[in-house]
Amino acid sequence: MKRDSTMLLIGVGGAGCTMVRGILSRFGGELRHLLVDTDAASGDDGQPEFLLLGAERLSGRGTGGEIVSARLAAEDSASKLDEFLAGVRLAVVVAGLGGGTGSGATLEIVKHLATHGIVSIVMATTPFAFEGEGRHRNSRGVAAMISDAANATILVPLDHLAGGCDEMAAAMRVGLDTLAAAATMFWRLVETPGYIRLDAERLRRMVQSAGRGRFATVCTGGPGRAERAVEELVRSPTLADGTNQVRSIICGVLAGDDLRLAEIGTVADGLKTAFGGGKCDFELATVNDEQTFRGKLCVVALMFEAPAQQQTQEKEGSRSTRKRKAAEDRRRALIPNSPFSNSAPTIWNDEDLDVPTYLRQNITLEF
Amino acid sequence: MTNIYAALEIGTSRTVLAVGEAQSGQRLRVTSHAEIASAGVRKSQIFNIAMSSQSVKSVLKEIERNQLEKGTVINIENAFLVVSGQHVKADRFQGSAQIARRKVSAEDMEEAARNARAMPLPRDRELLDIIEGNYSVDGYGGTTTPEGISGQIIRLDTIHVHAEANRINDARTAAGEAHLELREPLFAATCAADAVLSDAERRDGSLVLDLGGGCTGYALYADGGLAATGVIGVGGNHVTNDIACAFQATQAQAEELKVAEASAIVGADPDAAPRIQIPGSSPLMEQRTISRHALDTVVNARCRELLAIIRETVEEAGLLHRLHAGVVLTGGGAALRGFADLARRELGADARLGFPSQVDGLEDAAFPPSFAAIAGALMYAHRNYEEKSLFQTIFGGFRK
C-alpha cells in the first residue's frame, strides 16, 4: 500500500467497494485506497484498509437501502475516517447511487473531505432505467447534493456502461468493471511515469472547480487505431450524456513502446474538435507500458462542463437567445405594465400563463 | 387556561392577521382578524421589503384597534406564517426501517417515520410540513396500522411540503421590521383544508382549492389522508390582468369590474344589463361601456384553463372519479361569481364554498372562505403547542 501518495481512492458502499477491488486487481501495483461500507461483509476479504461505518448504530448489518441511516452512520465514523486521510490532497470517491450507503455516506464523506481541504472527484453510477422509482428518487435527490459538495462529479447511468448485456448480473458486472477500468487508467496516468505526465498537483488544480463531468474509455489496435479511438469516443453514450458545453478535457493515452507522436496528435485534435469546439482547456498525459499495452492504444477521456451561468453568457447573441428574447418581447408587448412583467413567468405545458388566456387561445371578443 | 395564537399571511392581494384563543382541549375561537391590501408583493413573492413591512405594521395596528374596541389590550410579538406561492413544492418520500424482531413493532414504525422526517432537502429549501401516509411491509402496503405484521422492511410514505428558504426569509425580514417575530411557516392549502374539511370529507375524497391573488394552492384528500398537494402559479390577479388587457383598463378598474360585474360563466344571469359602464382612466380614455358578454368570455377562458390544469393534476393522482365529497373553494378568489358552478362542470364533482367550520368567530367576516388558511394555521398552533405545554412560550409573546 503506497501511503506516501497524495491521492486516495475511496470506494463507498457495496458497489463502490466492488469497483475499488476491480481497480486494485487491474492496477497491479500499490495504490492508496480505502473501502468504506455499513455492511461488515464488504470487509470480509481481510482488506486492512476497510472502515465499517456506524458500527454501533447498525451493527454491521447495512442500511437496508436507507439513505438517512447511512448519512448518520458516516457522521458517527467521521473521526475514524480521519485516520486514513493523513497527507491526502486529492480523493477519488467511487460509489453506486440509488442504495443506502452509496448514496448517503458518499455525501457525508465528500463534505468531510472538504472540511480537511481535500479536493474530491466523485465517480458514481446511477441505477438502471428498469430499477424501482425509489432507487431513482434516492439517486436523483442525492446526486444534486453530491454535485454541490464535491469539486467534480461524474455520474454515469449503468445503462450506458453495460450497453449490450442481456442478463442483469452480467450487466451490473460489466457496468462496474467499465467504471473501474476507467478509474484504473486515470490512476496510471498520474502514478506511472510516461513521456507526458499528469502531475497529481496539476490534476488537483484542474479538478478543484471542475463541476459536472463525463468520461469514456476505449481500447483499439492495428492500423488506424488512433482514428478509430476518436470515432468510438465520439459515439460513446457516456460522453453524449452532457448537455452543456465542455470547458476542460483531461485525456490520457496509454500504449506500448510503439506509440507514435502522430497518434497522440490525432487523439488530441479529434477530441478538442468534437467536444470542445477548439476552445476548451486541454490536458494530455501518456503512459508507455509495453507489458500491459503492447500493440494497443487505450484512451481515457474526462470532460468537465462549463457551469450553467457561464453557458448563458457564452450563448449570448446565439440564435436560441435571440429567439428567447423575441418571445419575451412579444410577451411584454401583450401584457404592458402587467403585475407580472418583472417576475418569472408561469409556464405550463410550454405555455406562458401570464399572457391572457383569451389571447393565447385566439378567442374573439364581441365588444 | 386560555391559549392565544396569532397567524399572518402576506399574500399578493392582501395581508391578513388573525388572533385565536382556546381553552385546553376546546374548539378554537378567532377573537380578532384584520386584512389590508398588500404592497410590495408580486405573484406571492415579496419584492419590496419596506412596502410589505408597512403592510404588516398596518395590519397589526388594525388588530390592535379591533382589540381596543372589544376592551382588551394585546401586543402581538409573534405569529405563525401562512405561506403560498409557486415556489412551494411537494415531494413524495419513503422512510424505511429494518424490522427488528420479525414482526412490526411501534418502535419500527417510529424509526421509519423518523427516517422519513430526516430526509434531507436541498440547502435552498425550507420544510413547511411532512404529511404521513400509509405503511407498507416488504412492499405490501396501504395500511396505517401495520403493527404485528411479519416482515423484514417497513416503509412509510410521506409527502414533504417545502418552499424556497429565501422567500420565507423575506417574509421574516418584512415582519421583523414590523417587530413581529415569525414562528413556523405553514402551507396555505393544507391549512385551509384543516379549517374547512371534516374527517368524513377527507375519507370520501375531496379537493380543496385555495384561490389566492398570485397563485392557487390545492390539497387532494382520499381515504382520510392527503394524496397530493401543490401550487399552480395562476390566481385572481391573472383574471384581473386579462380584463385590464382586453378592455384597456387600469388594474384598479379591472379589479373593480371583476368583483362587481364579472362571472366565470358566460350568460349566467340573463337579466343582467348587456353593457357595463366604466369611468375614464385618463384624458384620452373617456367614460365608456363594455360588453358583459365579452367580459365574461375573458374571465371564463382564464377560469376554465385553471380548472383544466387542476383536472389534469387530479387525474395524474388517479383520483378524479373519487371526489365523492366534492371540491371546496377557499381564498379570496372563491368569491368570483359563477366559479363554483364552473368548477362543478369542469371537474365533474360537487363544488361549494369552504367556510372555516372547524373554528368559531369568523361568522362576521365579509367573506369567511378567504380566512380559511389563516384559521387552519391557528388550529395547527392550538393542536401542536397546547399539548406540548408551550403555553408559556406562546403566552410570552402576548403581553396582556
- Whether A76 and A34 share a structural domain: yes
Mean pLDDT of B106-122: 85
- Whether A94 and A237 share a structural domain: no
On chain B, the residues whose CB falls within 8 A of the CB of A366 are 291, 293-294, 297
Q: Note the pLDDT of residue B386.
A: 66
Say which CATH number the domain at A171 has: 3.40.50.1440
On chain A, the residues whose CB falls within 8 A of the CB of B309 are 348
Say which CATH number the domain at B105 has: 3.30.1490
Of the spans A60-74, A134-148, B342-356, which averages the highest pLDDT? B342-356
What number of C-beta contacts closer than 8 Å exist between A and B? 103
pLDDT tens, B64-99? 888 888 887 778 889 999 999 989 988 888 888 888
Is there a domain that residue A349 lies in? no
- Whether B237 and B365 share a structural domain: no
On chain B, the residues whose CB falls within 8 A of the CB of A365 are 246, 291, 294, 297-298
CA closest to B238 among chain A residues: A354
Coil, strand or helix: which one is A146?
helix
- Whether A106 and A46 share a structural domain: yes
- Residues of chain A with pLDDT > 70: what percent? 77
Domain span at A240: 211-309
On chain B, the residues whose CB falls within 8 A of the CB of A65 are 96, 153
Point out the domain boundary residue: B144, B163, B182. Answer: B163
Mean pLDDT of A75-79: 89
- Whether B228 and B366 share a structural domain: no
Confidence of residue A316 (pLDDT cuts 50, 70, 90): very low
Q: Which helix (H) or strand (E) holds A184?
A: helix A168-191
Residues B8-37 as b or e (16 or more Cβ within 10 Å = b): bbbbbbbbbbbbbbbeeeeebbbbbbbbbe
* Residue found by looking up cell 384543516 in the block: B194
Is there a domain that residue A290 lies in? yes
Q: Note the pLDDT of residue A122.
A: 92
Confidence of residue B124 (pLDDT cuts 50, 70, 90): confident
Is there a domain that residue A361 lies in? no
Higher pLDDT, A290 or A18: A18
Say which CATH number the domain at B324 has: 3.30.420.40
A48: Cβ contacts below 8 Å, ≥ 6 apart: A1
Q: Note the pLDDT of residue A165.
A: 59
> What letter does residue A275 receive in the DSSP assignment?
I
Is there a domain that residue A2 lies in? yes
**From the CA atom positions of chain B, what is the Rg in Å?**
22
Please answer yes or no on whether B238 and A353 come within 8 Å at the CB atom. yes
For chain B, what is the domain count?
3
Whether the pLDDT of residue A135 is over 80: the answer is no
Whether the pLDDT of residue B216 is over 90: the answer is yes
Q: Would you say how long chain A is, in residues?
A: 367
Distance CA(A132)–CA(A127), nearest Å, equals 9
- Whether A126 and A2 share a structural domain: yes
Hey, how many other C-beta atoms are within 10 angstroms of the C-beta on B333?
27
- Whether B208 and B278 share a structural domain: yes
Domain span at B150: 90-163
Is there a domain that residue A333 lies in? no
Is there a domain that residue A357 lies in? no
Question: Is B14:B36 a contact under the CB 8 Å cutoff?
Answer: yes
Point out the domain boundary residue: A159, A191, A223. Answer: A191
At residue A315, what are phi and psi to the nearest 5 degrees? Answer: -85, -5
Higher pLDDT, A142 or B362: B362
Whether the pLDDT of residue A180 is over 80: the answer is no
- Whether B38 and B179 share a structural domain: yes
- Whether A110 and A160 share a structural domain: yes
Among A140-149, B51-60, B200-209, B211-220, whose mean pLDDT is lowest? A140-149
pLDDT tens, A250-303? 888 888 888 888 888 888 888 887 776 656 778 888 877 777 778 888 888 888
- Whether A217 and A181 share a structural domain: no
Q: Note the pLDDT of residue B329.
A: 97
- Whether B109 and B239 share a structural domain: no
Point out the domain boundary residue: A163, A191, A219. Answer: A191
Interface of A with B in 56-75 (CB under 8 A): 61, 64-69, 71-72
Q: In whole numbers, what is the pLDDT of chain A averaged over residues?
A: 78
Whether the pLDDT of residue B265 is over 70: the answer is yes
Mean pLDDT of A81-101: 88
- Whether A32 and A120 share a structural domain: yes
Point out the domain boundary residue: A283, A309, A335. Answer: A309
Please answer yes or no on whether B43 and A145 come within 8 Å at the CB atom. no
Q: Are strands B326-330 and B351-353 parallel, antiparallel or unpaired?
A: parallel
- Whether B49 and B104 share a structural domain: no
| Residue among B86, B232, B245 whose CB faces A335 most closely | B245
Whether the pLDDT of residue B263 is over 90: the answer is yes
Whether the pLDDT of residue A242 is over 60: the answer is no
Confidence of residue A314 (pLDDT cuts 50, 70, 90): very low
- Whether B30 and B117 share a structural domain: no
Among A148-162, B2-16, B45-59, B301-315, whose mean pLDDT is lowest? A148-162
Please answer yes or no on whether B305 and A353 come within 8 Å at the CB atom. yes
Among A44-58, A179-193, A209-223, A282-296, whose mean pLDDT is lowest? A179-193
pLDDT tens, B190-207? 999 999 999 999 989 999
Q: Which three cell numbers stand for residue B262?
A: 364579472
Please answer yes or no on whether B43 and A346 come within 8 Å at the CB atom. yes
CA closest to B39 among chain A residues: A339
Q: In whole numbers, what is the pLDDT of chain B averaged over residues?
A: 88
| Residue among A339, A348, A358 whose CB faces B297 most closely | A358
For chain A, what is the domain count?
2
Is there a domain that residue A283 lies in? yes
- Whether A281 and A142 share a structural domain: no
On chain B, the residues whose CB falls within 8 A of the CB of A339 are 42-43, 237, 240-241, 251
- Whether B171 and B215 share a structural domain: no
Q: From residue A6, how far is each of A57, A180, A190, A281 by CA, in Å?
A: 31, 20, 11, 24
- Whether B215 and B318 share a structural domain: yes
Q: Answer whether A344 touches B (CB < 8 Å).
A: yes
- Whether B296 and B148 share a structural domain: no
Q: Note the pLDDT of residue A324.
A: 54
Say which CATH number the domain at A267 has: 3.30.1330.20
Whether the pLDDT of residue B211 is over 90: the answer is yes
Q: Answer whether A309 touches B (CB < 8 Å).
A: no
Is there a domain that residue A38 lies in? yes
Q: Note the pLDDT of residue A171.
A: 67
- Whether B257 and B204 share a structural domain: yes
Mean pLDDT of A17-44: 83
- Whether B40 and B82 share a structural domain: yes
Whether the pLDDT of residue B26 is over 70: the answer is yes
- Residues of chain B with pLDDT > 70: what percent? 94
Of the spans A127-131, A221-225, B310-314, which averages the highest pLDDT? B310-314
- Whether A155 and A236 share a structural domain: no
Q: Which of B47, B87, B98 to mutate to test the interface with A (most CBs of A within 10 A)?
A: B98
